[in-house]
């Protein structure tokens, strides 16, 4: 006899690189917070919900099918970023094959940016744009699609974009992410990012007022949870899962100063023995804040430096100059917090000279960890729009969009020049004695020794040290066109541009009821 059907299954698709030898061998796998937040909210309203993290479970297609046969969800929701879009499409087809009447919903940054294209796959019924908690609940409750704000769907072969919903400012109304539905013992943090295990990720804020042209978070409405709510969640994680470290994945954790100071005050008062790391922006950081953060357990700050060339910084919309960045790293070091800085090669307007400035600047800044990426024009960003309009996109095969592949041609610099900087930068940075020494003295556990070996293989030999990701060939080597049943019709549908998506929030409630 078949089991009782569950109301909702939330699926995290696998993230697999086509190139076995790149970065992924040393990447993290952490709980998918957006998906778990949607799961928690749906469950809190009385629905039966399960989470399937295909990525961390390393499930094959056969195992996914078995899982679907056992659970037979009425609604299946996927969390999708550009790099996981193909695998999500493939699993959506499996869902329709096993449970044909299941409503398949895609959420996350990629479907938000490309709803019409995503809906070319007939196995996808609905795209949720923006925060997923309310619209997903309404889908599970079976509300008519035309009454649900913030979604896109097909009517025949036409795509309808319902108006966006107003952005939810009160994040405390949402329950903690549904960690209890996820395989918590299987997650692991990124190399170099953690001091102690077990570690977990959290967010205090959503959105970013920044305007960086390469970033999907640019110009999104900023809101914060209260410090009290965040500390309650930390206490819960410590008590339930023995968590000793938190990685805050907020776009800019320090952007709302009073709340950050309150958070630090509470962490100090509660004396929870938790270490943590967070993203800061140089214009939202000060010695006063750094001292409070250090006292409250912060051991590492992450900084998006991006470039060492002021003109490039202006081109990409990063309004932070070199001096301010240097000051941030100085302050962090002074109070005893490590710094982890990220740089990009191949930005709009880049030349060999500007990339050299970036590399030199990273060595001069001398953060404890440096990350170098290749500029990637993700759909939904201003950079994508610019690259598309100028015919600079190398391909729109989404599985290649993973920050280590050359995806955007530039008139000012060649692919080989960008690739050379990308490869050499890691070596130039990490093979310095000071850098090696810093990594070695921070080792406090066996897992960090293993991490260092992985990192050495990647940086020096550009190989994976082992198959840490496992082999999941079922989700590799797709061509996105395989999934597009309706391409010509759907592409004729109205486009949801960057401007419409961002500015619609100002519309009146009457206007919001009309489709775009
Ligand atoms: C944490 C994080 C990671 C972690 C992932 C850990 C994890 N399991 O979450 C790590 C470090 C592994 C990572 C890796 C990568 N990441 Co990342 N990452 C983030 C980050 C900083 C936070 C994500 C988060 O937790 N947000 C908080 C939650 C609450 O928000 P949310 O995820 O957006 O979810 C809400 C909505 O999107 C929606 N939603 C989401 N899922 C679903 C599902 C359904 C069914 C519904 C209805 C709604 C819905 O509802 C949620 C709640 O309201 C975001 C930036 C950001 N601000 O979101 C970048 C971001 C998602 N990453 C990005 C990138 C580029 C990558 C990499 C490709 C980079 C690389 N090569 O190293 C890989 C891709 C791997 C992957 N599978 O994600 C880009 C994605 C761009 C794009 N167009 O795809 C982002 C947006 C950064 C940016 N600002 O540009 N990342
Ligand atoms: S790169 Fe950072 S500061 Fe810039 S828009 Fe994105 S999240 Fe905001």
The residues, ordered by sequence, that sit 6+ positions from 409 with a Cβ below 8 Å of its Cβ are 392, 393, 394, 415
41 lines ligand 1 (CB under 6 A): no
Protein residue whose Cα sits closest to atom 2 of ligand 2: 251
208 lines ligand 2 (CB under 6 A): yes
214 lines ligand 1 (CB under 6 A): no
pLDDT of 28 > 90? The answer is no
Find the range with the poorest average confidence among 180-184, 270-274, 455-459.
455-459
Give residue 491's pLDDT band: very low, low, confident or very high (50, 70, 90). low
Give residue 473's pLDDT band: very low, low, confident or very high (50, 70, 90). confident
Q: What percent of the chain has pLDDT over 70?
A: 89
| Cα–Cα distance for residue pair 413/347, rounded to 1 Å | 10
- Closest ligand, as measured to the CA of 344: 2
206 lines ligand 2 (CB under 6 A): no
Predicted pLDDT at 498: 46
pLDDT of 260 > 50? The answer is yes
Task: Give the full edge-to-edge strand order of the sheet including 199-202.
Answer: 199-202, 245-248, 275-280, 298-306, 338-345, 369-374
| Cα–Cα distance for residue pair 102/67, rounded to 1 Å | 14
Q: In the predicted model, what is the mean pLDDT of residues 55-74?
A: 95
Protein residue whose Cα sits closest to atom 8 of ligand 1: 32
Instruction: Tell me which residue has tokens 């939330």.
Output: 10
Q: Which atom of ligand 1 is nearest to the CA of 37?
A: 52
Q: CB 488: neighbour CB atoms within 10 A?
A: 9
| Cα–Cα distance for residue pair 425/371, rounded to 1 Å | 9
Q: Name the pairing type of β-strands 8-12 and 75-79.
A: parallel
Segment holding 107, helix H or strand E:
strand 103-107
**Ligand 2 midpoint to CA 207 (Å):** 9
Instruction: Tell me which residue has tokens 């009517």.
Output: 155
Predicted pLDDT at 27: 67
In 368-486, which residue ranges form alpha helices assigned H by DSSP? 382-389, 415-430, 433-441, 446-456
Find the range with the poorest average confidence among 206-220, 322-336, 454-468.
454-468
pLDDT of 186 > 90? The answer is yes
DSSP letter at 219? T
Please say whether the dihedral angle defined by the alpha carbons of residues 53, 477, 472 and 197, taken in this order, is positive or negative.
negative
| Cα–Cα distance for residue pair 328/355, rounded to 1 Å | 22
Q: Which atom of ligand 1 is nearest to the CA of 218?
A: 89
222 lines ligand 2 (CB under 6 A): no
402 lines ligand 1 (CB under 6 A): yes
Please state, rounded to an integer, the average pLDDT across all residues of the chain. 89
Q: Which residue has the higher pLDDT, 439 or 370?
A: 370
217 lines ligand 2 (CB under 6 A): yes
88 lines ligand 1 (CB under 6 A): no
pLDDT of 22 > 80? The answer is no
| 276 SS3 class | strand
Predicted pLDDT at 435: 84
CA atoms within 13 A on the CB side of 270: 21
Please say whether the dihedral angle defined by the alpha carbons of residues 130, 134, 140 and 144, taken in this order, is positive or negative.
negative
**Ligand 1 midpoint to CA 71 (Å):** 26
Q: In the predicted model, what is the mean pLDDT of residues 429-445?
A: 83
Protein residue whose Cα sits closest to atom 57 of ligand 1: 251
Predicted pLDDT at 289: 98
212 lines ligand 2 (CB under 6 A): yes
pLDDT in tens, 80-113: 999 999 999 999 999 999 999 999 999 999 999 9
- Phi-psi bin for 171: left (phi > 0), alpha (psi -120 to 50), beta? alpha
| 15 SS3 class | coil
Q: In the predicted model, what is the mean pLDDT of residues 388-417?
A: 93
Q: In the predicted model, what is the mean pLDDT of residues 248-256?
A: 95
Enumerate the β-bridge partners of residue 128.
151
DSSP track, 23-90: GGGG--B---HHHHHHHHHHHHTT--EEEEEHHHHT--HHHHHHHHHHH--SEEEEE--GGGHHHHHH
Instruction: Tell me which residue has tokens 């440096």.
Output: 370
The alpha carbon torsion through 322, 327, 329, 332 (nearest 10 deg) reads -160
Ordered by where they begin, the domains of the chain are: 8-169+493-499 (3.40.50.280), 196-441 (3.20.20.70)
Enumerate the β-bridge partners of residue 247.
201, 277
Give residue 402's pLDDT band: very low, low, confident or very high (50, 70, 90). confident
**Ligand 1 midpoint to CA 264 (Å):** 25
| 298 SS3 class | strand
Give residue 511's pLDDT band: very low, low, confident or very high (50, 70, 90). very low
Q: Which atom of ligand 1 is nearest to the CA of 31?
A: 8
57 lines ligand 1 (CB under 6 A): no
281 lines ligand 2 (CB under 6 A): yes
**Ligand 2 midpoint to CA 281 (Å):** 9
| Model confidence pTM above 0.95 | no
pLDDT in tens, 279-308: 999 999 999 999 999 999 999 999 999 999
Q: Are 503 and 152 in contact (CB under 8 A)?
A: no
Protein residue whose Cα sits closest to atom 8 of ligand 2: 210
Protein residue whose Cα sits closest to atom 73 of ligand 1: 402
DSSP letter at 432? S
- How open is the CA angle 511-514-515, to the nearest 5 degrees? 130
Q: Are 146 and 135 in contact (CB under 8 A)?
A: no
Please give the structure tokens belonging to residue 124: 């996808």
pLDDT of 67 > 90? The answer is yes
pLDDT of 504 > 90? The answer is no
Please report, in angstroms and rounded to a whole number, the separation of the first and last CA atoms in the chain: 46
Predicted pLDDT at 21: 45
Q: Are 377 and 364 in contact (CB under 8 A)?
A: no
Q: Which atom of ligand 1 is nearest to the CA of 401?
A: 68
Q: Name the pairing type of β-strands 338-345 and 298-306.
A: parallel
pLDDT of 397 > 70? The answer is yes
DSSP letter at 166? P
| Cα–Cα distance for residue pair 356/236, rounded to 1 Å | 47
Give residue 457's pLDDT band: very low, low, confident or very high (50, 70, 90). confident
313 lines ligand 2 (CB under 6 A): no
């Amino acid at each position: 006899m078949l089991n009782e059907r569950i109301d909702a299954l939330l699926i995290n698709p696998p993230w697999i690189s086509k190139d076995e030898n790149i970065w992924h061998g040393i990447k993290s796998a952490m709980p998918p917070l957006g998906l778990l937040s949607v799961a928690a909210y749906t469950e809190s309203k009385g629905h039966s919900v399960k989470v399937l993290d295909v990525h961390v479970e390393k499930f094959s297609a056969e195992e996914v099918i078995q899982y679907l046969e056992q659970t037979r969800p009425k609604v299946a929701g996927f969390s999708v970023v550009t790099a996981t879009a193909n695998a999500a499409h493939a699993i959506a087809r499996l869902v329709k094959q096993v449970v044909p009447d299941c409503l398949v919903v895609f959420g996350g940054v990629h479907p938000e940016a490309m709803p019409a294209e995503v809906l070319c796959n007939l196995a996808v019924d609905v795209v949720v744009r923006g925060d997923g908690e309310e619209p997903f609940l309404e889908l599970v409750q079976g509300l008519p699609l035309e009454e649900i704000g913030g979604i896109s769907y097909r009517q025949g072969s036409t795509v309808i974009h319902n108006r966006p919903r107003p952005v939810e400012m009160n994040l405390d109304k949402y329950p903690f992410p549904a960690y209890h539905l996820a395989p918590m013992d299987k997650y692991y943090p990124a190399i170099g990012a953690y001091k102690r295990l077990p570690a977990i990720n959290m967010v205090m804020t959503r959105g970013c007022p920044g305007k960086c042209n390469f970033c999907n978070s640019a110009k999104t409405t900023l809101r914060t949870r209260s410090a009290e709510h965040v500390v309650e969640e930390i206490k819960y994680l410590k008590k339930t899962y023995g968590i000793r470290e938190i990685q805050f994945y907020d776009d800019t954790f320090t952007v709302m100063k009073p709340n950050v100071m309150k958070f630090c005050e509470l962490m100090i008062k509660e004396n929870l023995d938790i270490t943590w790391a967070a993203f800061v922006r140089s214009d939202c950081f000060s010695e006063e804040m750094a001292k409070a953060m250090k006292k409250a357990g912060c051991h590492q700050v992450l900084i998006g430096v991006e470039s060492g060339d002021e003109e490039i910084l202006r081109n990409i919309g990063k309004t932070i100059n070199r001096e301010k960045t240097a000051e941030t790293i100085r302050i962090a070091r002074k109070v005893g917090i490590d710094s982890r800085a990220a740089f990009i090669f191949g930005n709009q307007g880049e030349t060999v000279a500007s990339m050299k400035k970036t590399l030199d600047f990273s060595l001069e800044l001398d953060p404890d960890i440096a990350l170098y990426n290749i500029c990637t024009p993700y759909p939904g960003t201003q950079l994508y729009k610019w690259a598309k309009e100028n015919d600079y996109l190398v391909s729109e095969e989404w599985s290649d969009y993973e920050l280590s592949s050359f995806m955007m041609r530039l008139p000012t610099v060649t692919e080989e020049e960008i690739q050379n900087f990308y490869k050499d930068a890691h070596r130039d940075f990490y093979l310095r004695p000071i850098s090696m020494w810093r990594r070695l003295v921070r080792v406090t556990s066996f897992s960090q020794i293993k991490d260092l070996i992985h990192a050495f293989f990647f940086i020096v030999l550009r190989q994976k040290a082992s198959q840490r990701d496992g082999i999941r060939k079922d989700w590799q080597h797709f061509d996105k066109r395989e999934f597009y049943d309706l391409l010509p019709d759907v592409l004729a549908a109205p486009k949801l541009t960057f401007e419409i998506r961002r500015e619609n929030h100002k519309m009146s409630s009457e206007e919001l009821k009309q489709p775009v």
